[in-house]
Amino acid sequence: MSDIDEKVEELSRILEEKGDSYVSHAEKVLAEIVDLHDVDCIGSLISCFDDDSEYDELMFSIIHAIEVFEWEDYVTRVIRSLPQLLQQAPRWAEILHIRILNSEACRHAYVEAITGASTDQRESARALLAKLVDAKPKFAEKAKPVLLRL
């Protein structure tokens, strides 16, 4: 098992068990994961999102951890994880996409990456973006270039 796998497994266990001082312990492990500078952690960290999390701040810490990587790597792995993420944590899937849409550089990287996505990934993105546009019309202009590629 790689260092990343061990650390992500430790983080998952901390998030699940919610023991004493679990937030600070989770933050420490997240920092250790980021310090490994391994882009492969993105998909594993995405699997830690939980719509029922007691602390949104902890979920945002995961977002900040995966946003340290290059946009192309970040969006490719978000797209790759999207079908599962939509089932597991649809709220956090939306939040990730709002953040992607709000960054011009990230949005362009997403548009490029979505063209190489699987049918399931593209359908998941289409459904999520359409829902987001319906719920938050101000994102329509930002989402339109992505939707046109789908």
Do both 134 and 62 map to the same domain? Answer: no
Do both 48 and 91 map to the same domain? Answer: no
What predicted TM-score, i.e. pTM, was given to this entire model? 0.92
* End-of-domain residue from the set 17, 35, 69: 69
Do both 139 and 79 map to the same domain? Answer: yes
Do both 79 and 150 map to the same domain? Answer: yes
Sign of CA dihedral 23, 24, 30, 33: negative
Burial, 102: exposed, middle or buried (Cβ in 10 Å; 0-12, 13-18, 19+)? exposed
Do both 98 and 138 map to the same domain? Answer: yes
pLDDT for 77 equals 97
Domain that holds residue 77: 70-150
Do both 90 and 48 map to the same domain? Answer: no
pLDDT for 18 equals 86
* End-of-domain residue from the set 25, 42, 69: 69
Do both 20 and 54 map to the same domain? Answer: yes
pLDDT for 104 equals 93
CA dihedral of residues 87, 92, 96, 99 (deg, nearest 10): 150
pLDDT for 138 equals 86
